Amino acid sequence: MSGSWTFQNNDDQNDVDDYTLQPHHILKAGVAYNAPRWTLGLHNSYYSSYTDNVLLNPDRLVLNPSASAHNELLLHLSVTLAPKLKLDLYIDNLLDEDVYLPAQLGTRFFAQNTLMTKSGPSYLLRFSLAL
C-alpha cells in the first residue's frame, strides 16, 4: 500500500496567485499484490480542480468544459511467462473520465479555456525478453 498528498500554491513576481494554473491538491493511493510469478497493482491519482486560465487571459473563449477535479485510475498487471520473458499490461483511466486541462500561456491554444488531455481508457501491452 502506498500513498501521498501534495499541496502547492504559487504566485508570480506581480503577486498574481495561481499563476501556473495547477491544482492545489493531488492525492495518490495505491495497492499492489506480489505473487511468485505475477504482480497486480491498482493506483489512483486525484487532482483537485485547476485554476481557470481566465486569470491570465480574460479574453479567452470558452470552447470546452472547465478543468474540473478528476481521478486517474491505473491498473498494472505483470506476469513472468518464462525465466526471461515478462508480460506487462497497463490500463490507464479505468474510470473513463474526460480530462480537460487549462490551455497554458505561450501555446497556440491559449485563446481557449481548456484542452482535452484524456478521453477513455488507454491500454499498453508489453512483452520483455531479457538477453
End-to-end CA distance of the chain: 32
Q: Is residue 118's pLDDT more than 70? A: yes
pTM: 0.85
Is residue 94 within 8 Å of residue 121, measured between CB atoms?
A: yes
b (16+ CB within 10 A) / e for 40-59: ebbbbbbbeebbbbeebbee
Is residue 105 within 8 Å of residue 111, measured between CB atoms?
A: no
CA pair distance 90, 7, nearest whole angstrom: 27
pLDDT in tens, 54-96: 888 888 899 999 999 999 999 999 999 999 999 999 999 999 9
CA pair distance 51, 73, nearest whole angstrom: 22
Residue with cell 473513463: 96
Between 107 and 6, name the one with better pLDDT: 6
Q: Is residue 108's pLDDT more than 90? A: no
The pLDDT value given to residue 7: 96
Closest CA to 106 of 57, 70, 61, 59: 57
Rounded to a whole number of angstroms, the CA Rg of the chain reads: 19
Split at pLDDT 50, 70, 90, the class of 110 is confident
